[in-house]
Amino acid sequence: MTLATRSISLAKEEAPALLSGAEIVIKALEYEGVDTVFGYPGGAVLPLYDALYFSSIRHILVRHEQGAAHAADAYARATGRVGVCFATSGPGATNLVTGLANAYMDSIPVVAFTGQVPLDLLGRDSFQEADITGITLPITKHNFLVKRVEELASVIRKAFYLARTGRPGPVLIDLPKDLTLRLAEFKPPQEVSIPGYRAEPRLDTSAVAAAAEAVARAKRPLIFAGGGVIAADAAPELMALVERTGMPVVTSLMGKGAFPEDHPLALGMLGMHGTTYANFAVSHCDLLLGLGVRFDDRATGNIETFAPHAKIIHIDIDPAEIGKNVPADIGVVGNVKMVLRALLEALGETPDVHAWQNQVAQWRRLYPLTYDQGKEELKPQFVVRQVYELTRGEAIITTDVGQNQMWAAQYYLCRRPRSFISSGGLGTMGFGLPAAVGAQVGRPGETVIDIAGDGSLQMTVQELATVAQYQLPIKICLLNNGYLGMVRQWQELFHGERYSQVDLSQGGPDFVKLARAYGIGARRVTRPQEVKPALEEALAAPGAYLLEFAVSRKENVFPMVPPGGSLDQMLGGKKPHETHPKRSG
């Protein structure tokens, strides 16, 4: 029955309006305030796309479902709203898997809808059947296989609630095709009831008081800010804490933008490719205040020697994070914004940290990030620095994964939250371009720049068509070294320079021609003096633009803490001037 005939027949009967499952999905999305969906149609979602046809929701047709998941993820990161993606059953659904795992690792709110074979064909290895709820069990916050159309509206309500509250994360809803054709009444669902779920735990005020006292007593206190600060929109509270206490700030990759990186107390990123001064600060501080971080191994290096002199306060919304990797002396479970407000209130006297600030400033002078541009070879760091200077740190940056990502993190200083969009936990090559799509769709007025690598870009390069179709004015800065650069770097440093399967220089493509084939402006840049004019041209262009920078092929990312090493033992920076005792306990 078509939509038109059904509404006529219903009008005659004056029964409550019955909608198909697919129409209920669309209504429920509208009810959640969703205005954009990223997706790709297919057999099992035909009814869903049929209902979408009549909706005002904007659908962005990607060229691969992985792109839909990444775009929804980046849309969420850029806007703070829940990202939504659609895919069909079987391969459509499994193509979402990498993107969902990516969102899960970085705690990003995404709701994914997948088609499924009809209920009576479930479990019979039917055409395009995949057990997607089983497959995504460990990479979603929760998932649902809906079996009754009557519960569809409430499942969708729960899914959005779960995705955005507490520690955010992706939620998947699997929709058997016949269910999307069945009719039911759509009642906008009221309050959600999930007995096993508590989004906001009670704040432990005694732990907050203990934290305030520890901060007040510290002589060398340091803030370690992560993605949780951005997720909780707690940047203003973090700034207030820094202004009140004078504590310097290091961030994780996910925390970039939580605190303006051009602030005198911002020490940049810590960890494997962090700044020397950030890592020295961690190694010497006597109090480390972890805000919305999970003490990931890339951030901490060797756990045994991490922050060896520090009392550790760990504030996180997820109780399971407290003490998971690094034992916390004081753990406070809660939304970072709420906890910081309580902490600011509880904070009496503030410590005298002038000597410590001077020490940190001295490290910054002694061990700056360095690279040698020279006159001929183009250095990737120089390119990123130019991007920063021309945009004054006001653009939204997306990155791929590998060297390009680390140079972006080191040399592009972010001045505001939600402006550095990068695959932190999962480290997904190919994230940058579809992420730029999601960010640009979510923040149409902003300059969105994808700092890409030649290996990564080729993993999702088909999304250039999406960029072209929707005329998204994304600027792609491709750092092309013809290598899987980070793998090559590890082979150079740790595998006796045996460059196994990392040379991408043979086989092309010609990226300039490739971009132009999609109708996207493009230019190749080979010399340092061309960088600025080329960037100016790209930024001034009304539409998308790809700049291919032919960068120095064997440039390495330094400083570098070797895997499992201590943060104060870095390669490539200046020599560490002392060693540290092991952490006790």
Partner 1 sequence: MKHTLSVLVENQPGVLARIAGLFSRRGYNIDSLAVGRTENPAFARMTIVVDGDDRVIEQVSKQLHKLVDVIHVRDITNEPFVDRELILIKVNAEPAQRGEIMQIVDIFRAHIVDIGRNSLIIECTGDEGKINAIQDSLEPFGIREVVRTGRIAMMRGVRDIDEEEDHA
What is the binding site for partner 1 (CB under 8 A)? 133-134, 137-138, 141-142, 145, 162, 194-197, 201, 204, 318-320, 323-324
Which listed residue (338, 486, 560, 570) is catalytic? 486
Minimum CB distance to partner 1, residue 231 (Å): 16
The closest of 170, 416, 167 to 294, measured between CA atoms, is 167
Integer angstrom CA distances of residue 240 from 221, 245, 335, 414: 15, 9, 16, 18
How many angstroms separate the CA atoms of 84 and 180, rounded? Answer: 18
How many angstroms separate the CA atoms of 218 and 148, rounded? Answer: 58
The token duo for 18 is: 């019955």
DSSP line for 441-484 = HHSTTS-EEEEEEHHHHHHSGGGHHHHHHTT---EEEEEE-SB-
Which listed residue (177, 311, 379, 475) is catalytic? 177
Minimum CB distance to partner 1, residue 156 (Å): 15
The closest of 383, 413, 380, 543 to 467, measured between CA atoms, is 543
Of residues 348 and 585, the one with the C-beta less far from partner 1: 585
Minimum CB distance to partner 1, residue 143 (Å): 9
Of residues 170 and 351, the one with the C-beta less far from partner 1: 170
The token duo for 320 is: 């399971």
Read off the DSSP letter of residue 247.
Answer: -
Integer angstrom CA distances of residue 362 from 278, 358, 413: 12, 6, 20
Of residues 65 and 321, the one with the C-beta less far from partner 1: 321
Minimum CB distance to partner 1, residue 196 (Å): 4
Instruction: Please name the residue ranges forming H helices in 63-109.
Output: 65-79, 91-95, 97-105
**Exposure string (b/e) for 177-213, b if CB count within 10 Å is 16 or more?**
bbbbbbebebeebeebeeeeeeeeeebbeebbebbbe
Of residues 87 and 139, the one with the C-beta less far from partner 1: 139
Minimum CB distance to partner 1, residue 179 (Å): 16
Of residues 267 and 328, the one with the C-beta less far from partner 1: 328
Minimum CB distance to partner 1, residue 134 (Å): 7
Minimum CB distance to partner 1, residue 142 (Å): 4
Minimum CB distance to partner 1, residue 452 (Å): 32
Query: What order of strands is seen across the sheet that includes strand 420-421?
Result: 420-421, 396-399, 448-453, 475-480, 545-550, 521-525
Reduced to 3 DSSP states, what percent helix, strand and coil does the chain have, rounded to the nearest 5? 40, 15, 40
Residues 62, 441: contact at Cβ < 8 Å?
A: no
Integer angstrom CA distances of residue 247 from 29, 228, 238: 43, 19, 10
Which listed residue (23, 32, 38, 65) is catalytic? 65
The closest of 366, 403, 365 to 383, measured between CA atoms, is 403
Integer angstrom CA distances of residue 57 from 33, 35, 41, 47, 532: 10, 5, 15, 15, 39
Of residues 134 and 444, the one with the C-beta less far from partner 1: 134
Of residues 133 and 410, the one with the C-beta less far from partner 1: 133
How many angstroms separate the CA atoms of 32 and 204, rounded? Answer: 32
Cα 459 to chain centroid, rounded: 18
Residues 524, 494: contact at Cβ < 8 Å?
A: no
* Catalytic (active site) residue 128: yes
* Catalytic (active site) residue 486: yes
Minimum CB distance to partner 1, residue 323 (Å): 7
Please, which residues bridge with residue 145 across strands? 174
Of residues 139 and 449, the one with the C-beta less far from partner 1: 139
Of residues 194 and 366, the one with the C-beta less far from partner 1: 194
Catalytic positions, written as ranges: 65, 127-128, 177, 486
